[in-house]
Amino acid sequence: MTCNFHVGQKVVCIGDDLASGPDGHVLLTPIILPVKGKIYTIKSIEIGIVKGEPCLRFEEIEDQTADVLAEGEIWEVQIVFDASDFCPLVDRKTDISQFEAMLTSQPSEVPA
């Protein structure tokens, strides 16, 4: 997967089930999860240990460690979030020129 994100970028969460985690892994510690539809600022980008895919950490969510049961063993892991569950926030600049043009345009005559 190509990662087109950068540190400091605003993204919006689009993931449906962030609580499930990777298959075969059971989260034993409660963690704070991103909320679908909420905007976050990327603090770091790294490759996840489990899937080898780009993962993100956010300014709005403190770094977290958790105990995870995997393959019969308990591991302490750093929590990161799969980049595919986020998309860039499109920052649209306000441009009032179209509305100003409507106010200054001359009315056209309609033939009767």
Residue 100 banded pLDDT, cuts 50, 70, 90: confident
Q: Average pLDDT in the 84-89 region?
A: 94
* Torsion, Cα of 5, 9, 52, 76 (10° steps): 180
pLDDT value, residue 2: 66
pLDDT value, residue 46: 94
